[in-house]
Chain A
Amino acid sequence: MRYRFDVRIGPVGFRVGSAWRQPIAALRDLYAGYPEPDGGIADFTVRLEPERPWRRYLRPSVAIHGDFTLPDAAPLPLAQGLLAAEMGMNLQMALGQRRYLLLHASVVERDGWALLMTGHSGAGKSTLAALLGERGWRFMGDEFALLDPGTGLLHAFPRLVSLKNAAIDAMTAEIAADRFGPLLMGTPKGAIRHLRPNAAALSAMDAPARPALILFPRYGFAAAARPVGASEAFVRLTQASTNYVAMGEPAFDALSVLVRDVPGRAIDYPDTEGAVALVERLWTEALA
């Protein structure tokens, strides 16, 4: 490939190749300071290529290729090349990761203990994790939680935070402008702006944490919290996992221990400030 960027995010090494300079330049900028893959060997490869050779120049559109591909993934316009790279990295993880049980969840850590938040798209887990990461917690990831079946520990995967729509304004009000990528309008998920995790998230990236609380947040409702039993948590987390079936018995063992040992709570919240207060209260209760 003409342009290339190698990066390690948590325990996972990526090689991103691109036919265009722009997406790689954006990645270099936003992932500045991240290490290279261990031994220079990437776990996954992402290729951003024109659909047809002439589409490199003419109405350039970025098709996402790599070790694993989805046959019907629609290409993105070149202006959204950074999004294509991030989507490509997600896709490789979702389809190819076998070392860790992947949960579609965000994770933050404090005092060595991890808070796991999972929910449907739009539930606010990403925004909540990003916000907590600026307020005394360590941001470990907003997309995938990596559960090690051997140890039961969660490993950090602090990719760029993908802020969507209303969350963009909420976070730009709090955080210095130089941590944001370009504002991408009209993507398949609306407006998207990437946020670089802070220095604390990057420097502690290799430190795993033991899960202490699982939250199932839901945005847009009056503040409320209810316990989630172990069996309900198990069902919801298997649904939130992209590789539970492929991992087989180690995934079953890891997930059943997780839901048996770690309390779960479903929370409703009307706004992010209310959510932060609710999280702090539940966290204190869980660790008491």
Chain B
Amino acid sequence: MGIVYRADPPSARCLVALDALDLIYHRPSGMTHIVSEPVPQILDMLTNGPADAEAIVVRLLEQHDFDPEGAVEAVAARLAELEAIGLVERT
């Protein structure tokens, strides 16, 4: 089992999709983040409760069509970045 993360509920965020990037306004911190795929999707997957990178990939595969090769490592790296900016935290 990898590191399990949780995120604030979607109501804590305002997401605006622009051209190549997405903006996230995080209400609890008042901070604006500029992110790209798959960050908004990862945060969406955490709406259903805490999960580690592997479980998030399983949830993502239910809704999105992508090659799962290397996906767990990529999602784990994004989760670490999201933790650093305060959008997810370890349970």
| Range class of the B interface residue count | 10 to 19
Q: Which of B1-39 contact A (CB under 8 A)?
A: 14, 16, 18-21, 23, 25, 27, 30, 32, 34
Tell me if B14 and A231 are in contact (CB < 8 A).
no
Say yes or no: is A249 at the interface (Cβ < 8 Å to chain B). Answer: yes
Tell me if A252 and B18 are in contact (CB < 8 A).
no
User: Chain A 213-257, CB within 8 Å of chain B: the 1/0 string?
Assistant: 000000000000000011100110010000001001100110010
Tell me if A234 and B30 are in contact (CB < 8 A).
no
Tell me if B19 and A230 are in contact (CB < 8 A).
yes
Say yes or no: is A259 at the interface (Cβ < 8 Å to chain B). Answer: yes
User: Chain A 146-166, CB within 8 Å of chain B: the 1/0 string?
Assistant: 000000000000000000000
Q: Which of A76-131 contact B (CB under 8 A)?
A: none
Q: How far is the CA of A260 from the CA of B14 in the complex (A)?
A: 15
Min Cβ gap B24→A in Å is: 9
Contacts of A245 in B (CB 8 A): 30
Q: How far is the CA of A249 from the CA of B14 in the complex (A)?
A: 9
Q: A229, A252, A259: which contacts B32 (Cβ < 8 A)?
A: A252
Q: How far is the CA of A235 from the CA of B18 in the complex (A)?
A: 12
Contacts of B21 in A (CB 8 A): 231
**Chain A residue nearest in CB terms to B19:** A229
User: Chain A 184-225, CB within 8 Å of chain B: the 1/0 string?
Assistant: 000000000000000000000000000000000000000000
Q: How far is the CA of A248 from the CA of B20 in the complex (A)?
A: 24
Q: How far is the CA of A252 from the CA of B22 in the complex (A)?
A: 13
Min Cβ gap B11→A in Å is: 12
Known: A231-B34, A248-B30. A253 touches B20 (CB 8 A): no
Tell me if A252 and B20 are in contact (CB < 8 A).
no
Q: How far is the CA of A243 from the CA of B26 in the complex (A)?
A: 17
Tell me if B34 and A256 are in contact (CB < 8 A).
no
Contacts of A235 in B (CB 8 A): 34
Contacts of B20 in A (CB 8 A): 229, 231
Q: How far is the CA of A256 from the CA of B30 in the complex (A)?
A: 15
Tell me if A260 and B27 are in contact (CB < 8 A).
no
Q: How far is the CA of A235 from the CA of B32 in the complex (A)?
A: 10
Q: How far is the CA of A43 from the CA of B29 in the complex (A)?
A: 29
Known: A234-B34, A248-B30, A252-B32. A260 touches B16 (CB 8 A): yes
Contacts of B27 in A (CB 8 A): 249
Tell me if A256 and B16 are in contact (CB < 8 A).
yes
Tell me if B19 and A256 are in contact (CB < 8 A).
no
* Chain A interface residues (CB < 8 Å from chain B): 229-231, 234-235, 238, 245, 248-249, 252-253, 256, 259-260
Q: List 5 A-B contacts (CB under 8 A).
A: A231-B23, A248-B30, A252-B14, A253-B14, A256-B18
Q: A230-B18, A231-B19 are in contact. List 13 more A-B contacts (CB 8 A).
A: A229-B18, A231-B18, A231-B20, A231-B23, A231-B34, A234-B34, A249-B14, A249-B27, A252-B23, A252-B25, A253-B14, A256-B18, A260-B18
